[in-house]
Amino acid sequence: MKKIAILFNPGAARGRAAAKKDSFQATLRARGLGWDFFESKSEAHLGQLTRELAEEYKVIVCVGGDTTVHLVVNELMQLPRRPLLGIVGLGSSNDIARHLGVRGAERLARVFPSASPREVDVGCIVVGGEVKRYFLGQLSLGLGVLVNRFVDEQSRKYPFLARATPLVGFWGIVAAYRQKKVPFSLQVEGPNLSFSGASVLTVVSNTRYWASGCLINPGGRIDDGRLEVSIFHEVGLPGLARLYRLIRRGKHLQSQKVTYASGDVWRISSPSPLRIQVDGEVLFDAFSKEEVKELEIRVLRRALLVLMFGD
H/E stretch holding 242: helix 237-249
Rounded to the nearest 10 degrees, what angle do helices 165-178 and 237-249 cross at? 140
Q: Tell me the pLDDT of the chain (311 aa) as tens digits.
A: 568 999 999 999 888 999 999 999 999 888 877 789 999 999 999 999 999 999 999 999 999 999 999 999 999 999 999 999 999 999 988 999 999 989 888 888 888 888 999 999 999 999 999 999 999 999 999 999 999 889 888 888 888 887 777 788 889 999 999 999 999 999 999 999 999 999 999 999 999 999 999 999 999 999 999 999 999 999 999 999 999 999 999 999 999 999 999 999 999 999 999 999 999 999 997 667 789 999 999 999 999 999 998 64
CB atoms within 10 A of CB 226: 18
Task: Give the span between the Cα atoms of 219 and 263, in whole angstroms.
Answer: 13
Nearest-5° angle of CA 56, CA 61, CA 66?
Answer: 130
Tell me which H or E stretch contains 281.
Answer: strand 281-283
Nearest-5° Cα angle at 222, 241 to 95: 40
Gap between the Cα atoms of 43 and 210, Å rounded: 22
Q: Is residue 128 left, alpha or beta, with left meaning phi > 0 and alpha meaning psi from -120 to 50? A: left
- The answer to whether the beta carbons of residues 252 and 231 sit under 8 Å apart is no
**Backbone φ, ψ for residue 14 (5° rounding):** 55, 40
Per DSSP, what are the bridge partners of residue 298? Answer: 124, 265
Residue ranges of domains in the chain, CATH in brackets: 2-114 (3.40.50.10330), 127-301 (2.60.200.40)
For residue 27, what is the DSSP state?
A: H
Residue-wise pLDDT for 184-228, tens only, equals 999 999 999 999 999 999 999 999 999 999 999 999 999 999 999
Number of DSSP helices (H) and strands (E) in the chain, helices first: 8, 16
Supply the pTM of this predicted model: 0.94
214 forms beta bridges with 210
Contact 182, 143 (CB under 8 A): yes
* DSSP classification of residue 157: H
Q: Confirm if 87 and 71 have CB atoms less than 8 A apart.
A: no
